């Protein structure tokens, strides 16, 4: 199955997909044992790519960089991809776990604070009885030594997962996936960030109407103002200005 088209948004190639397309592509990779990673990408990550060329390269080299944010969906539709819809980390996790009940896919959860991946796995197995959890691991916040990293890779490979969910936060999870693709023998690595905390019940998600109307950022800002004010109150207006400049041809961006 061919990888989907990309929409050039400030030099980041956002995959022109919806949830069903994303799930079908992931299942094709698993069936053919192809190694790919998935970057679940909101506006914040697109803005991080403006300051970090290596992160932009990682996102553009992914098997799929999903539109995790309504502004990215609206821009994709503006550029002619009318079928595009949001592929949000928690929703993607739930949808793939549901499909796994028939396919028997094995899931590994790598990331989150101590106890979070275990709680996440327990919640998902309660929601989807029969879901196969191959393993969980919460790494330390510091960088791993080469020997420790080798041990983690062996642990994951010994568990023989089909999908490794990576919840290290951006950009750490994108860097981890890019450096471990192929070393970790699971066909699919998916970086989902806060989905670990949301689905483990550690943090509240925005109401669905706020998610669909592009106001999730406001909900998150109100719940974590000290941590997130800079991300939303500086990045969001700058994103709008840069997108306008790109649309008007005042700035050009390459996906190379």
Residue ranges of the domains in the chain?
A: 6-199
Of 101, 76, 66, whose CA–CA distance to 193 is shortest? 66
More confident residue, 190 or 141: 190
What is the b/e burial string over 88-111, where b = at least 16 CB atoms within 10 angstroms of the residue's CB? Answer: bbbbbbbbbbeebeeeebbbbbbb
Cα(200)–Cα(79) distance, rounded to whole angstroms?
Answer: 36
Output the pTM of the full model.
0.94
- Residue 143, pLDDT score: 87
In this structure, what are the phi and psi dihedrals at residue 107, rounded to the nearest 5 degrees?
-115, 140
- Residue 58, pLDDT score: 98
Sequence-separated (6 or more) residues with CB below 8 Å from residue 159: 106, 108, 134, 135
> Is the separation of the CB atoms in 189 and 181 below 8 Å?
yes
- Residue 193, pLDDT score: 85
- Residue 100, pLDDT score: 97
Of 241, 183, 220, whose CA–CA distance to 10 is shortest? 241
Would you give the distance in Å from CA 21 to the centre of its chain?
15
Structure token pair of residue 141: 């916040």
The region of weakest confidence among 123-127, 179-183, 233-237 is: 233-237
> Is the separation of the CB atoms in 207 and 55 below 8 Å?
no
For residue 249, pLDDT beyond 70: yes
Three-state DSSP class for residue 249 = coil
> What mean pLDDT is reported for the chain?
94
165 DSSP β-pair partners = 109, 190
- Residue 234, pLDDT score: 84
For residue 1, pLDDT beyond 80: no
CA dist 67 → 41, 74, 162 (Å): 6, 10, 23
Mean pLDDT of 156-162: 98
Domain 6-199 fold is Rossmann fold (3.40.50)
Mean pLDDT of 69-85: 96
Cα end-to-end span (Å), the chain: 23
- Residue 47, pLDDT score: 96
Handedness of CA 187, 192, 195, 197 (dihedral sign): positive
In this structure, what are the phi and psi dihedrals at residue 23, rounded to the nearest 5 degrees?
-65, -40
Three-state DSSP class for residue 248 = coil
Q: Where are the alpha helices (H) located in 52-194, listed in sequence order? A: 53-60, 70-78, 89-103, 116-127, 146-159, 172-180
């Amino acid at each position: 199955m061919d990888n989907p088209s990309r929409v050039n948004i400030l030099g980041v190639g956002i995959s022109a997909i919806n949830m069903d397309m994303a799930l079908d592509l992931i299942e094709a990779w698993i069936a053919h044992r192809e190694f790919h990673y998935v970057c679940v990408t909101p506006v914040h990550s697109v803005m991080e790519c403006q300051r970090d060329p290596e992160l932009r390269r990682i996102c553009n080299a992914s098997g799929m960089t999903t539109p995790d944010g309504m502004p990215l969906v609206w821009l994709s539709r503006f550029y002619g991809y009318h079928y595009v819809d949001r592929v949000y980390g928690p929703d993607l996790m739930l949808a793939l776990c549901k499909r796994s009940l028939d396919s028997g896919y094995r899931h590994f959860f790598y990331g989150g604070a101590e106890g979070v991946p275990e709680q996440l796995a327990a919640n998902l197995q309660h929601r989807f009885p029969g879901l196969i959890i191959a393993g969980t691991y919460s790494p330390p916040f510091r960088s791993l030594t080469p020997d420790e990293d080798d041990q983690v890779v062996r642990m994951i490979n010994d568990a023989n997962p089909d999908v490794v969910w990576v919840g290290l936060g951006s950009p750490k999870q994108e860097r981890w996936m890019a450096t471990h693709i192929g070393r970790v023998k699971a066909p699919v690595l998916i970086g989902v960030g806060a989905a670990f905390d949301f689905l483990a019940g550690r943090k509240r998600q925005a109401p669905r109407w706020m998610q669909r109307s592009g106001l999730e950022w406001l909900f998150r800002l109100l719940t974590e103002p000290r941590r997130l004010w800079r991300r939303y109150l500086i990045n969001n207006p700058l994103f709008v200005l840069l997108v306008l400049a790109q649309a008007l041809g005042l700035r050009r961006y390459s996906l190379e």
